[in-house]
Structure formats: structure tokens, C-alpha cells
Amino acid sequence: MVKILAFLRKSSKFLVENAPMMKYLNVAEKNDAAKTIAGYLSRGSSRRREGLSVYNKIYEFDAVINGRNIQMVMTSVSGHLMTYDFTGAYRNWRSCNPAQLFDAPVTKFCPEVSVKIRQTLEREVRGCAALVIWTDCDREGENIGFEIVEVCRSVKPNLTIYRAKFSEITAASVRRALENLVLPDERQSQAVDVRSELDLRIGAAFTRFQTMRLQAIFPAIVDSLVSYGSCQIPTLGFVVQRYKEAENFVPQKFWKLKLTHTVNELTVEFNWARNRLFDKKCCEAIFLLVKRDPPLLATVLSVTQKPKSKWRPQPMDTIELEKLGSRKLKISAKQTMQIAEKLYQQGFISYPRTETNMFSKEINLRSLVENQTSHQDWGLFAQKVLEWGPNPRNGKKSDQAHPPIHPTKFTSSLSGNEQRVYELIVRHFLACVSRDATGSETLVSVEIGGEEFNASGLVILERNYLEVYIYDRWTAREIHKYEMGTSFEPTSIEMPEGSTTAPQMLTEADLIALMEKHSIGTDATHAEHINTIKERGYIGEVENGYLVPGTLGMGLVEGYDAMSLTLAQPQLRAGLEADLKAICDGARQPQIVLQEQIEKYREAFRIITERAQMLDEKIGFRFNSVPEQNAEPPSSQMIEEVFRCPRCRSNKMVLKRKASNNDVYLMCMDYPNCKSVMWLNDFVKEATVSSESCRQCGPDTKKLSIKFKQRNALIYLGVDTPEYTSCLLCDSNLRSLLGINLEDLSRGGGSGDGNSSVRSRDVPSSGYSSDRSSTVSSRSNNVPSRNNSVPSRGYGSQRGGNSSSRSTTNCPKCSQPLKKLTVRKDGPNHGREFFLCPTPDNPCKTFIWADEVPQNPGNRDSPPPPAPRPSGSRGGASTTGRPRQKRKCAICRREGHTRNNCPDHQPTFS
């Protein structure tokens, strides 16, 4: 028994040692991060090879996970792998009404710039058992992680997914993350999806409407995109509001009393306790009372000395970094964040996008301070901090994901703005973990003529954090030694005049503070929103870094305000940000939040379209321009969805009209990717999409309301009304009349290839969309029209007139094939067959009862040569005389078609 157990142990050990090594795919958010993480986990021994994208390399190394040796493959994406966009015709500005974009179908797909990265992931994941996500640990990073998961699981559905949680790219941090892999947080990703889809719908609807309208009404002024963003415009609103406050400011004069006391060239200024008065006569009366009884003596009422501290800064979060970069370094918030992101990827600082301003007890602050002791500028101060013991002045905010921004590694190799941003982060960190500056403040109150005056002095005892934090100052103010109850003769007492001043324009740091206060955007997006409205020309920056609105920006905000809309105010976006946080916390469902927000902005869009003239007036006023007379923005037709495409089954068939001859057809919205097209038969005069849904096919299927060119067609359908409303999918009689075969279309059957047939009735029919045929002219069929991508009749469509599947019955007047139909209406003629001519351009109105026509030995379905029409029959003129010659095309002079469908002529559609 002992021998057996020993044998089993040896066999098990042998199998483990010789088993093939398991492989994991690791994906970071940027190539720099992938390189650094791979270097730390492999201790510098990773092997690099090329990916399909030249910017995203692949690093291979071995690692131990849960006591098991794993072959690691590390690569990266370049930010978001996927993007949202509308499907089909909704992407075209002129193809649909902007109001439809609130409900238009959207898709999340991989754009062309990311295809190589996607292909790399698909190739590498095939041989891997698990996927480890190493993206940034915030909402956007979580969403990028799920995009990576979606791509990889499309290749390997049973792939195991892990999430590495880290807040800094250091050796200890990434190794700790690898040892404590978790599951990704789907709620955070869902919140980003809701925000992305909503931004797409809102931005596209308002931007298209504004741009097309203003470019039409002010063609000489507005020649660029007039965009709207639910974060950008409220941000612009802050700048406009402050500018208007300054513009409308009316200065007011005021008067005050000032007392000075000079001894040995040291002058102490005492401020009036009343501060100031806006009534000159009242101030003069008080001034006379003070100077009434000479000699003027000021009596010391109180002398108070108390310790005074100047607090060290709190740990740095993203908002503080952006504001300090703008105020102290004079670097824009966007550039500051770009530099910080690069420093993070190089491992010099912690993750720069954080809402946390408090250090947790798990962070080893002493080791972080020790890293900086060798620097020539702040190394000595770092030594002092170690002697005192690092003691941060923590704030109250924590996002439970990342610590405050702090240096993770010492470096002296940086230069330019990178060095300045790194120095700011280091000095701020050392300051926040050191001690407050201390001093002694003396407060003196004196009385003269019944009026009280105050003065203060300051003595700095210990500078402490001010020694390293060069961005802050604390100036000492000397004061004489006063004793309570004593008196002195003032050097002067005056009544100076002043006036109120207009509020200062906002700086970028002020604007970020307002965005944070009103929940506009997040700490990760503030800089992007400000940069966007700068690029749009909505705001500009003048000397001293002040922001002022541009002419177009002023006009837009004033236009919204005139309509009583809150589009330029923060309430709408702040409500969305609160809902997104609720999604992350699991308190709200993503789809409910999305629908509620869509309805809010849909109502705002309805108002802006109804009151658009107010926007025109405000824009014209700001540009000092008069709108073009009788100028109307180009109209965009409504996309009329009918039912889901039987071929691709993912997009909708929509009703379209050809401008040249008002022909009607149904086309897949994904045309030309899906070439599913149904040309309605030449019987149809007019067709519209009914508001009524088909009960049998479901609410997504709309009925068609059709008016026919000939009333005789209604006999076949068995109705008396001039308009026929029915579902094309369930009404087999309507499909038979129009020559539509759904089976051929769902199979991708041919058009113009002579292989399709109609099984239910002897009605001529061509097939449905087919693959490209070399016999079809590419010029007329394969190239979509520039306007609305209208397909040609022959290729990729179903159209009546397939000569190989019909009888040779011809019209005695125009020589076009006749249709043989059967009366469906109840009555004496029920079931009786007849012939009709469906010529579209100039209907012949030929009508012949089939049972009144002598049989032709050559073709029993063909009517005889021209003969008198039976009395009482419907239709055209006499059929006596010689048959007409076949019609020839006016362009190529060949028979069998007209100029409208000539293969040598490419028509232009609207």
C-alpha cells in the first residue's frame, strides 16, 4: 500500500511538472502601461514581439498565479476599442429629421482605427484560457475592459475573465494586483454606456438642427459646425453668465473712514468697523463727529494675541491638480492632465484621475517620502518630514478606487513641463504630509469719537510646509505694541472715496471649480469639455488667463435663455451625473435612466424647434447681421420604418421615394451593406407608413397605406375604399399583386437572374436582392446615388418584370407584358380572371376579361391581336389596327426598357 501511494505521488508530480503551461492574455489601456507592467511582473525579462497594430506591442513572460506557472501574453489597446453611432441612413445628416435621433437605432462597433488592435486580440486569445484586464480603475477603464471582453468572447465564449485592481504602476502595486485578481464591475461599464449613448443622441440631434438652420440663415457668418454637448454648453453658460455680470455691472461710489498710526517709520493702518457707506452725507456726518473734539485721541479697547496657523494643503485629487496647473504653472487643464497621464504610465506618479483627497492607512507614506530624500531641492525637507513622521491633513472625499495623487518613484531626468508638473506633485505631497505653518497674531481694537477701528499684526514662528511649498505665501505684518486702556494720537484720519468694481472674468481654475460644484462632467472630463468649447470658438482666453465668450457662444446661450430653456444651465447634466452614480451603486437600472433622460432632452428639442426664431434673433443681434430673407434650412425627410429586414434581420426596411418619377420602394437602412430592396409594383400611385402596427407581426411592424394608379387593382384585393391599408408581411394577396416574394429575399435570392418565381399566383415577379452579377452594369447598379443612396432597379432589388418567369402576354397598345389577375371581391364576378396593363409612365388602362378572349394556339394566356373591346368592360380605347412597335430607349435606342431604367444612364435621386 505504501508503495502504491508513493507511486501515485510521483506520478502526480510528474504530470504536474510536464503538463502544458496554461496561457493568459493580459490587456492594458495603453502601450506604455503594458510595457511597464510587463517589465515589473517579469523583472525585466519579458520578450517583445510585434502585434498587428504597429503602436501596440506584445510582451511575453512567465508568472505565478495562485501557485501555478502561467505563460503571460501582455498587449494593449489605445483607449476605447469601440464607439457608438447610428445605423444605416440615420448617419446621414440630410436623410432624416434630427428629432428622430432620440429613438433611432444605435450600434456599438469597432471603428477602422481600432481594427488592427481588435484583430490582435482575436488572434492572441485563441490559445489562452483566461483574460486579465489591466485598464485604469475608473468608469472609463471599466468600460474599455468590457469592450475587450466582448471582442475576446466573440472568439472564445467560455473565456475566464479577471480584473487587476491597481492605482499606481509600481512593482509592488502590480504584483499585489496579480495576486488579488477580482471580477470586473459591470455597473460602472453600464453607466458609461448610458452616458455615451445619451451624449450621441443629444449631441447629434441638437448639433444637426443648429448647424443646418444657422448655416442657411446666416450663410456669410456661420460656416462651421455649431455643436451642442450636454456638458459643453453648461460650461459655456458659466463663462457667459460671468461675462454678462461684468458687462451689465454698474459701479457704485462709496465712502469709508481710515485711521493710521506711524511710529519709527512703521505705519499701522486701522480699518473702520462699519467698512463702508454708500451715502456720502451720512459718512461726512460721522467723520465730523469723530473730529469734533481735539485733540484727537484713540483709546485702545482690546489687545488680543492668539496663535495662528496656516494650514498645509490636503492630499491632491484631480480637480486640485487641474486648478494648480492652471493657476501656478500657467498650463491648461487639458495639457496638465495629458502630462500627468504620461507620468503615470511611466510609473513616476499614481493614477491622476481620482476623486480621493485622503490617504488610507494601508499606504506606506514613509517609504514614499524616503524616495525623495536624495533630491537637491527638496531632499532636506523630506528628511525633516521623516523626523516629524508623515502626517497628512486628510480631506473627506474618497472614490474607494484610487488614492490621492502622489509621487511613486524618484526621478531627476525630466525636463520642460513634465518636470514642472512632477515637481508640483512632489512638493504638494511633501507639504500635505508635513506640518502647518505657525505664528502669533495680534488683534487691536481702538475707539475714537464713538467709532471703532481694528488692526492686526502677524509674527511667523515656524514656516514648516512653506519651506517646500513654493506656490503658497504667508506674509508677516508688523504692529506696534499696544496696551488695553491706553491712548494715542493718530497720525491721520481720512474719509477716502472709492467705487465698487465689476467681478473678474473666470479663469480656467475658476471654471473647473464651478463645474465641480454643479456636477458638470467628472474629474476625468473637465479639461476635455473646456478644451472643446475653446476649439469650437465658443470661448477665448485673453491676457492674465481670463476666459471670455465668443460671439457665437454668446448668441447660443442668449437664444436658449430667450426660449426659457435650461440647456445652458447645469441642472439637466447634474441630474444625469447623479443618476450615473446611482447606476454604479446599483440603485437604478441603466435602461430606465437612459429613457428618462432622453425624454427630458426630447422636450427641450421640441421647444427649440418651435421657437427657433428666437435663436435666430439673438445670433443676428450678436453678429450685427440680419437673417437671410425667405431663407429656410434644408428639409430632412422623416425616415419611415416599416418592418425588420427579412435578409439581415438586424436593421429596418424603410419607405423611400424616388424624386424623378415618384416611384416608391422599401430599402434596408443598412444599404449598401445590405442590398435588400423591394420596388413596389407599378400599380402603386402613393404609399405611406401607417401609424397602426400589425397585431400579428408585432409592434415593430407597421402597416402600409397604399393608393393605386388603377382602381381595378382594388378588385383583386376585394376592397371598395380608394386607399388600402395592410401589413406587407402577412397579406399574401398584396404581396402577390406587388410581385414580392419574401422567401427569395430572406435567402438573398437573385434579381434579374431569371430564377425567382411566384408560387401562389400567376403574377409576374422578379426575385430579390442577389449577389453581384457580372452581367449587370456596375455604373448603373453597384454605385449608390450620392443623395440618400437610392438603389438602382436592376441589381440588388426586387422589381416586377422578370421575363423568364412570366407568360408572353403583351399589351396590344404598348407591347408591354400584361398581368393576369383574379377578382377577389364578393359578387357576380368573384373568381373571374382578367388582364391589366401596368405601364407606369402612361398607363394604357387596358382591361380584358380572360374568358371573353378566344384561345390563341401559340399561347392560351395571350389575348388575340387587336380587337374591339367588349362593351361594358373597363379600360382604354379601341384595340383595332396594327400592333405598335416596341418602345425604344431615348438614350441608347435599344428595345426592352426606357430612359428611366437605362443601364447606360445613372439617374440622380434626392
What pLDDT does 791 receive?
54
Task: Please identify which residue in the block is written with the cell numbers 505657525.
Answer: 438
pLDDT, tens digit, 9 for 90 and up, residues 765-796: 322 233 333 333 332 322 233 344 445 443 33
Is 40 a residue of the active site?
A: no
Q: Using DSSP, state whether 472 is helix, strand or coil.
A: coil
What is residue 663's predicted lDDT score, i.e. its pLDDT? 76
- Residue 373: pLDDT band (50, 70, 90) is very high
pLDDT at 876 over 50: no
Residue among 371, 338, 375 at smallest CA distance from 353: 338
Per-residue pLDDT at 78 = 93
Which H or E element spans position 358?
A: none
Report, as an integer, the average pLDDT of 725-740. Answer: 83
Closest residue by Cα to residue 653 from 637, 671, 633, 632? 671
In terms of phi and psi (left: phi > 0; alpha: psi -120 to 50; beta: otherwise), the region of 785 is: beta
Instruction: Band the pLDDT of 265: cuts 50, 70, 90.
Output: confident
String of DSSP letters for 40-54 = HHHTT--EEE--SST
Q: Measured between alpha carbons, how far is 308 from 472 in angstroms, rounded to an integer?
A: 16
- Judge residue 216's burial from the number of C-beta atoms within 10 Å of its C-beta, 0-12 exposed, 13-18 middle, 19 or more buried: middle
> How is 481-533 classified by DSSP, letter by letter?
---TT-EE--SEEE--EEE--PPPPPBHHHHHHHHHHTT-S-TTTHHHHHHHH
**How confident is the model at residue 758, as a pLDDT?**
30
Start-end of H helices in 226-329? 232-247, 280-290, 318-327
Burial class (CB in 10 A: 0-12, 13-18, 19+), 427: buried
How would residue 843 be classed by pLDDT, with cut points 50, 70 and 90?
low
The mean pLDDT value for 126-144 works out to 92
Cis peptide preceding 407, ω within 30 of 0 = no
Average pLDDT value for the chain: 82
pLDDT digits (tens, 9 = 90+) for 233-260: 999 999 999 999 999 999 999 999 999 9
The residue-averaged pLDDT of 428-452 equals 94
The β-bridge partners of 306 are 441
pTM over 0.85: no
CA distance 767 to 755: 7
Residues 599-623, mean pLDDT to the nearest whole number: 91
Q: Which residues partner with 822 through β-bridges?
A: 833
The catalytic position among 351, 538, 671, 795 is 351
Whether the per-residue pLDDT at 863 is higher than 50: the answer is no
- Dihedral pair phi/psi, residue 675, rounded to 5°: -95, 40
3-state DSSP assignment of residue 103: coil
pLDDT for the residue 910: 31
* For residues 694-711, average pLDDT: 83
- Classify residue 818 by its DSSP letter: P
Binned at pLDDT 50, 70 and 90, residue 872 comes out as very low
At 63, which helix (H) or strand (E)?
Answer: strand 58-65
- Alpha-carbon distance 405 to 395, whole Å? 13
Give the full edge-to-edge strand order of the sheet including 298-310.
487-488, 298-310, 437-448, 451-462, 266-272, 258-263, 492-494
